[in-house]
Amino acid sequence: MHLDPTVVMLNTGSFGPLPRPVFDRVTDLRLQLAAGPTDFFVRKLPPLLWHARERLANFLDTAPHRLVFTANVSAAINLVASGLRLNSPGEVLLTDHEYTAMRWCWERACQRQGLTLRTFPLPTMPRDPGEIIDAAVKAMSPRTRLFFFSHVLSPTGLVLPAKELCAEAKRRGILTVVDGAHAVAMTPLNVTAVGADFYTGNCHKWLLAPTGAGFLVVGPGSEDRLQPLHVSWGYYPDKYPLGELTSATGPDDPDAYGSTPRVRFLEFEGTRDVCPWLAVPAAIDFQAALGWENVRGRMAELSAYVRKTIDLKPATPEGLCGAMTAFELPAGTEAVPLRKKLWDARVEIPVVERPDRLLLRVSHHFYTTEAEIDRLAALLAQSAAQL
């Protein structure tokens, strides 16, 4: 890992570090791009891009012709929110724990389409997934056109029953868009089984891929629902100027560009650095070599250790969490001074401001040590003593 040894990194939930083999792979790709840009984009890129698409699709348990690469999950959700037409009047339904920027994304989409944006409260410490499902079903109505939710909540790390929530929405004719930013690699993820109309995710967090690698998976029946964010050479599949490159025979068949006509329609934005996408297989291989059971087993060990060591009230239920655990900070704690104090002590960790409380979110990957968690606990105890 290219991590600063003086910093306690407890924020993989925001940005994962690059393992050396992944760093080396993306650097080598960028050197090839720099040495011959035309050769790279025209000749080398197509097979590399299709290989990366197949590897990530296989990892996610979906099909490569359904996988659209994006810069990140925000770009993927914006692609859906901007490119999808919904019947109005009606509403877009969100939980009250969604990432603020994505709530703004759907707010704009509703304004443009004459829809209402509505949120409903999730149980913060549910005893079982049924409480979450009941809350969502109760919030759905005949006016609900689309249900957007996070597979793993960013503020608390609560893992939602995504498959069951999508099934309930489907029974009511409601489209589903899932923000899977934290689910990729942190949980054993089968996107096909989740059954969302649109599933989005990041590779730069728990998968430890380079920054700039995200995706959108388009579910069955939604293949032709979206318009692209960027109109470029994928807009008319048969009119690309390099005539010697032939198109695929069908919209979901692999083409000469490392995609399919239908995927390229949504994915191609013109010239851009696609090396992070191409390095995703190296990220998959890195943790696969460690063993996914070993990686997630270590995450579970650390999760238990965090709960035992941090002397604060947990804000994430023990049975519905992954590698992120949030804790409630004492009343009267001020976010800005605490953030400064933590960073001055070289501890990288988010202080999350919720409408009703202040949270400290601990996110640990397999490389986190108990000594680092102990360091955080000592710092928090010192801060509490000074209040």
Average pLDDT across the chain, whole number: 94
Query: What secondary structure letter does DSSP report for 92?
Result: E
d(CA 211, CA 325): 24
| Residue at a domain's end among 219, 253, 284 | 284
Q: What is the pLDDT of residue 386?
A: 59
256 and 310: one domain? no
101 and 194: one domain? yes
Q: Residue 216: which H helix or E strand, with range?
A: strand 214-218
CATH of residue 220: 3.40.640.10
| Residue at a domain's end among 256, 284, 312 | 284
| Residue at a domain's end among 284, 318, 336 | 284
pLDDT band at 305 (very low <50, low <70, confident <90, very high): very high
2 domain-assigned? no
pLDDT band at 248 (very low <50, low <70, confident <90, very high): low
Q: What percent of the chain has pLDDT over 70?
A: 97
Q: Which domain holds residue 342?
A: 8-18+291-386
**Helix residue ranges, H only, 61-123:** 73-83, 100-113
**Helix residue ranges, H only, the chain:** 20-35, 37-39, 45-60, 73-83, 100-113, 129-139, 162-171, 191-194, 261-267, 275-278, 280-290, 292-309, 335-344, 370-386
181 domain-assigned? yes
pLDDT band at 239 (very low <50, low <70, confident <90, very high): confident
Tokens of 187: 């949980």
Question: Which residues lie below 8 Å from residue 366, measured CB to CB, with a gap of 6+?
Answer: 290, 294, 295, 298, 299
309 and 267: one domain? no
- pTM beyond 0.85: yes
Q: What is the pLDDT of residue 385?
A: 55
Domain count for the chain, please give it: 2
Residue with tokens 């988010």: 350
d(CA 118, CA 95): 8
221 and 106: one domain? yes
131 domain-assigned? yes
Tell which residue, 270, 342, 301, 320, has the closest CA to residue 126. Answer: 320
Q: What is the pLDDT of residue 1?
A: 74
158 domain-assigned? yes
AA identity, residue 79: L
303 domain-assigned? yes
Mean pLDDT along residues 11-33? 97
Q: What is the pLDDT of residue 2?
A: 81
DSSP symbols for 62-75:
S-GGGEEEESSHHH
pLDDT band at 237 (very low <50, low <70, confident <90, very high): confident
108 and 201: one domain? yes
pLDDT band at 292 (very low <50, low <70, confident <90, very high): very high
d(CA 93, CA 179): 13
Q: What is the pLDDT of residue 186?
A: 96
Q: What is the pLDDT of residues 336-378, one digit of tens each?
A: 999 999 999 999 999 999 998 999 999 999 999 999 999 999 9
156 and 304: one domain? no
132 and 67: one domain? yes
Mean pLDDT along residues 219-231? 95
270 domain-assigned? yes
pLDDT band at 54 (very low <50, low <70, confident <90, very high): very high
3 domain-assigned? no
Cα-Cα-Cα-Cα torsion 266, 272, 278, 280, nearest 10 degrees, comes to: -80
Label residue 207 left, alpha or beta by phi (over 0 means left) and psi (-120 to 50 means alpha). Answer: alpha
184 and 329: one domain? no
237 and 161: one domain? yes
| Environment class of 63 (CB within 10 Å of its CB; exposed 0-12, middle 13-18, buried 19+) | middle
CATH of residue 344: 3.90.1150.10
1 domain-assigned? no
77 and 192: one domain? yes
Three-class SS state of 302: helix
Q: What is the pLDDT of residue 247?
A: 56
Tokens of 231: 């109109």
372 and 266: one domain? no
Tell which residue, 204, 266, 255, has the closest CA to residue 230. Answer: 266
47 and 14: one domain? no
